[in-house]
Amino acid sequence: MSETTRVTSGSSTKGKVIITCAITGAIHTPTMSPYLPITPDEIAKEALAAAEAGAAILHLHARDPETGKPDQTPEAFAKFLPRIKQNTNAAINITTGGSPYMKVEERVKPAATFKPEVASLNMGSINFGLYHLVDKYKEFKFDWEKPHLEATRDLVFRNSFKDIEYILATCYDNGTRFEFECYDIAHLYNLAHFADRGLVKPPFFVQSVFGLLGAIGTHPEDVAHMKRTADRLFGDNYRWSVLGAGSSQLRIAAQAAALGGNIRVGLEDSLWAGKGKLAKSNADQVLLARKIIEGLGMEVATPDDARAILQLKGGDKVAF
């Protein structure tokens, strides 16, 4: 990366690990877990409990409260964003990923409308396979679920350079920082490309995603390779976080924390809280992440620590 000013965070945040909690997402469907939050009340309740457990950042999607289908309208987000903000100091992160079936113009609307402190931004296109989950369930609660999963056999989650430019142009002037979601090594190079063009500014909050079918795997060497590449490309100008999909969630979290990284958990990424044990809440996973961090002799970052580490604009500068 060329001509980028070195970014440092204060000594008061040294050794502190940010926990992001992704509350509901758009991958899992209602049949998969009775604990997956769907309604605005459920999403708000789960978000607040996750923050109380130690999550400094809350990553949010919305769903149709009747069917659980992903809903990327600003109106859907408006039903829970103010309640969450009024009851926690945690930083709010609004998805621009939405669902792989949505166009970028639809996906960016909530972040453009509400101007959050953080928004996610997928840094490249990938095959996005969920079809292998179909055979795990004999029947589905809602008619949309099975075809939604089966159709991913022929689905490319589009995040072209033009799409990324569009989201950056739409949101950056709002002071929103991005959680750069990198599903493969090439996505780090895509981020470096945008940094070289001056379209993104450090510190880069790099969220490495492991374990989705069509993206990088979950082997410890995959995790190490992602970090080595990011170190080489960005040096001190990025803050690393990881999310492991499914059963890999906590193993990858532990490896990343030991390597100095941050952690993302939540029912968007995994439905589990141990082998064969469904997580009954997002807070369950946050507490497990907290045990890892504190067991390694580190501290869990507060929301204000996270703001300092990532240079966020502050919760008083959002539009909700």
Q: Encode pLDDT of 250-296 as tens digits.
A: 999 999 999 999 999 999 999 999 999 999 999 999 999 999 999 99
Give me the residues of the chain with pLDDT under 50, please: 1-5
Q: Does 70 reside within a domain?
A: yes
Q: Which pLDDT value is given to residue 10?
A: 60
**Residue 199 domain-assigned (yes or no):** yes
Host domain of residue 125: 16-129+158-310
Question: Strands 126-127 and 156-157, how do they pair?
Answer: antiparallel
Q: What is the pLDDT of residue 9?
A: 59
Q: Is residue 280 part of a domain?
A: yes
Question: Is residue 147 situated within a structural domain?
Answer: no
Tell me what pLDDT residue 12 has. Answer: 83
Mean pLDDT of the chain: 96
**In the chain, how many domains are there?**
1
Q: Is residue 4 part of a domain?
A: no
Res 237: pLDDT: 98
Q: Answer yes or no: is 2 within a domain.
A: no
Q: 21 lies in a domain?
A: yes
120: domain CATH number? 3.20.20.70
**Looking at the domain assignment, is residue 94 inside a domain?**
yes
